[in-house]
Amino acid sequence: MEFLLALQFLTRAPLTIHSPVEEKNLARAMAYFPLVGVLLGLFTAVIYTLWTYILASPVCDLIAIAFLVIITGNLHGDAFMDTADGLFSGRPREGILEIMKDSRVGSHGVMAGCLLILAKFVLLGQIPLTAKGTVLVLMPALGRWAQVYCAAVYTYARTGGGIGSFTDRVGIRELLWASVSILLAVILMLGLYMSGQYLNTLPCVILKGLILLGTVLTGTAGLGWYISRKIGGMTGDTLGAISESIEVLALLILPMILG
């Protein structure tokens, strides 16, 4: 049930959970976030590949980005904008949390959202066609692993509970399972991409995988520390913002690793 909960939470998939859902179920579902990210990436890669037969590469890049926004209901993009509004407001902790709770988007959020899409479009355009499938699969998976890390490491920032308060129940179990999932996904995707390119493929895959995961871990830890220092923990919005930020980081580092 937890996997279906993760799929329902992160996508617009028309799923109905008939069993009673408690906070502990939602917390356990976060263990499957990277796996859902892999599925999203696979669908995106397939759609991208199909469109390349009739459209130019930049148009296909835009379609891939738009598909991820649509299939996720812009869940993390909205969180990214809300977080930008709060963090760049210059207000103290309570003021930041209040702004992030507001459903309206301010100028900081609009600008951040525009820069986010632009960054993804430009960086995706710099990736060779042969590597695009690998990147499109790993990008959303790495972003969703980052959410599990921050939910497990930091406490929920809002007092009195909230929509994302279930993240306080996320712990070592969920982080360990998510980390194993992302490790396997990285090794598999890099192995498929580099198969036949090197005489000693496995050592190269392990080395490049460790560099990628180390970079993502460093970026996630740094963002988590900065946000936690600002508001005293995490919220649903900040987890979504970290996911989007790590996707951009993945687009930046993956071409160098795959090269």
User: Is the pLDDT assigned to residue 179 strictly greater than 90?
Assistant: yes
Range of the structural domain that residue 241 is part of: 2-138+146-258
Q: Is 95 or 103 the better-scoring residue by pLDDT? A: 95
Task: For residue 102, list its beta bridge partners.
Answer: none
Q: What is the mean pLDDT of residues 32-44?
A: 97
**From CA 243, how far away is CA 52, in angstroms rounded?**
27
Highest mean pLDDT, choosing among 94-103, 174-183, 195-204: 174-183
Cα maximum dimension of the chain? 57
The percentage of residues in the chain with a pLDDT greater than 70, rounded to a whole number, is 96
Number of domains in the chain: 1
Asked if pLDDT for residue 145 goes beyond 80, the answer is yes
Specify which residues 156 forms β-bridges with. Answer: 234
What mean pLDDT, rounded, does the chain reach?
Answer: 91
Confidence of residue 196 (pLDDT cuts 50, 70, 90): low
Quote the CA–CA distance of 29 and 134 in Å, as a whole number.
Answer: 25
Calculate mean pLDDT across residues 43-55. 96
In the prediction, which pLDDT does 188 show?
93
The confidence band for 190, taking pLDDT boundaries of 50, 70 and 90, is very high
Listed residue (27, 60, 26) closest to 46, CA to CA? 60
Q: In which band, very low, low, confident or very high, does the pLDDT at 171 lie, cut at 50, 70 and 90?
A: confident
**Distance, CA of 76 to CA of 243 (rounded, Å):** 7
Which of 127-131, 133-137, 253-257 has the highest average model confidence (pLDDT)?
133-137
CA distance 10 to 20: 19
Greater confidence (152 vs 200) lies with: 152
Q: Lowest-confidence range among 15-19, 75-79, 155-159?
A: 15-19
What is the predicted pLDDT for the residue at 163?
63
The answer to whether the CB of 249 falls within 8 A of the CB of 256 is no
With bands split at pLDDT 50, 70 and 90, how would you rate the model's confidence at 194?
confident
Pick from 23-27, 220-224, 233-237 the range whose average pLDDT is largest: 220-224
The average pLDDT across 152-172 equals: 79
Q: Which helix (H) or strand (E) holds 127?
A: none
Report d(CA 76, CA 65) in Å as an integer: 13
Q: For residue 197, is pLDDT > 70?
A: no
Angle, alpha carbons 37-99-115 (nearest 5°):
50
Alpha-helical runs (H) found in 1-74: 2-10, 23-29, 33-51, 57-71
Confidence at 198, pLDDT banded by 50, 70, 90: low
205 half-sphere exposure, CB direction, 13 A CA radius:
20
Residue 204 CB burial class (10 angstroms; 0-12, 13-18, ≥19) = middle
